[in-house]
Amino acid sequence: MEKKNIKQEVFAYMLLILGSALFAIGDVMFVNPYLMAPGGTYGLSNVFSTLWGGKISVWAICMDVPLLIIGTWILGPKFGIKTIISTFLIFGFTYAIESWIWGYNPVIHDGPIVANAIEGLNMVQTHDGLWFVPDYFLNTVVAGLIYGVAIGMIFRSGATSGGSDIISMILHKYTKISLGTLVTIVDGCITLSTLIAFGDIRLPIYSIIVIFIEGKVIDLVVDGIKSYKTAFIVTDKLDEVKNYILHDLNRGGTCITGEGLYNGTQRNIIYVTMERADFVKLRANLRNLDPTAFVNVIDSAEIMGKGFKALPTE
């Protein structure tokens, strides 16, 4: 058991390191050259760095550290050691990439990176003084994918994003507005800062697309690609439906006794959760098992317990 826990911790820290490195790559090499700010302290740092110079990493760490201190003071010690490690890992990787490895040149561009190579096209100047013809859509998709994989790996390691989310948590404590709404407002303000700073309506739009793609990929990395269905089956053929679920689908379930609202008749209800493929089989055969069955089907975001995802150890 102890060896298993050690392996899990080693794997978690590997995810944390790789996720932090990927995040730095996505920000410096894909997000910053296109003047985007998809939320968070690094999004705001991209704007500050472009407007006033200085390293993205330095701007970000100057915001992250005070936010961690203030957040711990106001909210208590909610931020684990992995979140603190992730904060400094991202800072280190970002500083290395922007200072020594890559700079601020775009990876994805449409056309040669030479000044005045193509006349009449909208060319953007990078921090290093070079010019490129932007391919906004392709870069946005790639940036969202990299961000999503990176943050998903950080989440799976047991760390949290910290940064601007701490602002949302503090506001939530005093305003009682839902945390999801506050996160949207805070990140939305950061995204809109690109419009104010650079005067280009495309920038906040592309930043929002990055956030959308990022969110979908995070879900895939954290929860996997499996899709689960939860069904409540009201049936008069309890044995037939139960045997099909147990023996043909090899799934378990729970039998519940209910009372009909209209005439007070006792009804049998089967509560069962299964993967989408098994549900398709159940749905196809349910008419033969009980033509009068009533079924309510719900998409399940996360299932934990025996036969599914293990319960968290902490």
Tell me whether residue 310 is in a domain.
Answer: no
* The pLDDT value given to residue 258: 86
Domain finish residue from 177, 200, 223: 223
Residues 163 and 146 in one domain: yes
* The pLDDT value given to residue 44: 95
Asked if residue 109 lies in contact with residue 133, where contact means CB atoms within 8 angstroms, the answer is yes
Residues 217 and 232 in one domain: no
* The pLDDT value given to residue 45: 95
Residue spans of the chain under pLDDT 50: 114-118
Q: What is the pLDDT of residues 93-127, one digit of tens each?
A: 999 999 999 999 899 887 655 444 445 556 777 77
* The pLDDT value given to residue 140: 95
Residues 179 and 291 in one domain: no
Tell me whether residue 56 is in a domain.
Answer: yes
Residues 208 and 280 in one domain: no
Indicate the burial class of 218 (C-beta count within 10 angstroms; 0-12, 13-18, 19 or more): buried
Number of CB atoms found within 10 A of residue 202's CB? 16
Residues 113 and 207 in one domain: yes
The two beta strands, 266-275 and 254-259, are: antiparallel
Total domains in the fold of the chain = 2
Tell me whether residue 313 is in a domain.
Answer: no
Tell me whether residue 99 is in a domain.
Answer: yes
Tell me whether residue 314 is in a domain.
Answer: no
Domain finish residue from 158, 190, 223: 223
* The pLDDT value given to residue 118: 45
Q: 11 lies in which domain range? A: 2-223
- From residue 166, alpha-carbon distances to 58, 65, 69, 297 in Å are 19, 11, 10, 36
Task: Give long-range contacts, CB 8 A cutoff, 24+ apart: 285-292.
Answer: 285/244, 285/248, 286/233, 286/241, 289/235, 289/237, 289/240, 289/241, 289/244, 290/235, 290/236, 290/237, 290/240, 290/241, 292/235, 292/236
Residues 134 and 21 in one domain: yes
Residues 67 and 157 in one domain: yes
Residues 206 and 191 in one domain: yes
Tell me whether residue 86 is in a domain.
Answer: yes
Tell me whether residue 182 is in a domain.
Answer: yes
Q: Which residue type sits at 60?
A: A
Residues 73 and 147 in one domain: yes
Residues 22 and 58 in one domain: yes
Orientation of helix 40-52 relative to helix 56-75, angle to 10°: 140
Q: What is the pLDDT of residues 202-243, one digit of tens each?
A: 999 999 999 999 988 988 887 776 678 899 999 989 999 999
* The pLDDT value given to residue 228: 83
* The pLDDT value given to residue 40: 92
Domain finish residue from 223, 251, 272: 223
This prediction has a pTM of 0.79
* The pLDDT value given to residue 115: 46
Residues 153 and 178 in one domain: yes
Answer positive or negative: Cα dihedral of 39, 43, 48, 50.
negative
Residues 141 and 283 in one domain: no
Percentage of the chain lying above the pLDDT 70 cut: 90
* The pLDDT value given to residue 314: 55
* The pLDDT value given to residue 244: 92
Tell me whether residue 62 is in a domain.
Answer: yes
* The pLDDT value given to residue 111: 62
